[in-house]
Amino acid sequence: MLKKSESGIGTLIVFIAMILVAAVAAGVLIQTSSGLQSKSLEIGKKTTEEVSKGIDVVQAFGYVESDGSFRNMTFLLRLSAGSSSQRIDDIFVNLNLIDKMISYSNGVGIDCDGSDDSLFSCNFSVTYLTESNSHLEGYITENEVIELSLVAPRNINESEYFNTLFRMSNGISKKVDITSPSAIGGVRVYLYP
């Protein structure tokens, strides 16, 4: 009889140990799943903001000068699907050439002095190509396309890589990588898409 009770107590100890291990494992799984859930909700929210509060670059082109290079560029922009109206003054542009980084903001006319500094500020100008029924001056609204024009601080030549970063004041940005064509001719050279 003593042997039966010893084996019963041993089985009971093993059973309690298994329950404790299962409880700890369940706690770890619950904590991990709740952490993953909150992280996925955060990522989903950020993704929705990026998709619904950004701008899209429809097209980009440069105006060819007599030497076959270009400085004047135009970008056609529109709001991303689902975006609400955005102030044009809240759009900032960074043009990154091999030897210079230039920051642009909305200004009266196009202004860029071609300074020798590696970092300086310039202005871009905006023209409405299409205006919607809900048009607000100084804003880009749904179904509108704007023409953003800027001048590089120096001429951009054939097969030259540069990128342009369009930033909104809410932190959303759109980067456009461009390599100019290997043969530039005509009046206008298409750069993007």
Q: Using the predicted structure, report yes or no on whether residue 125 has a pLDDT greater than 70.
A: yes
Average pLDDT over residues 56-79: 95
Average pLDDT over residues 103-112: 71
Cα 129 to Cα 76: distance, rounded to the nearest angstrom: 9
Q: Per-residue pLDDT tens for 127-177?
A: 999 999 989 999 999 899 999 999 998 999 999 999 999 998 877 889 999
pLDDT(40) > 70: yes
- Which of these, 51, 124, 63, 66, lies nearest to 94 by C-alpha position? 124
Q: How many CB atoms lie within 10 A of CB 158?
A: 15
Q: How confident is the model at residue 43, as a pLDDT?
A: 84
Please state the rounded mean pLDDT for residues 3-9.
67
pLDDT, the chain, mean: 86
Mean pLDDT of 39-64: 82
Residue 127 backbone dihedrals phi, psi, to 5 degrees: -130, 140
- Mean pLDDT (whole number) for 117-124: 66
Contact yes or no for 114/153 (Cβ under 8 A): yes
**Which CATH architecture group holds 54-192?**
Sandwich (2.60)
For position 108, what pLDDT does the model report? 57
Mean pLDDT to the nearest integer, 114-118: 50
- State which of 1-15, 39-53, 80-94 shows the largest mean pLDDT: 80-94
Q: What is the pLDDT of residue 123?
A: 86
Structural domain spans, the chain: 1-52, 54-192
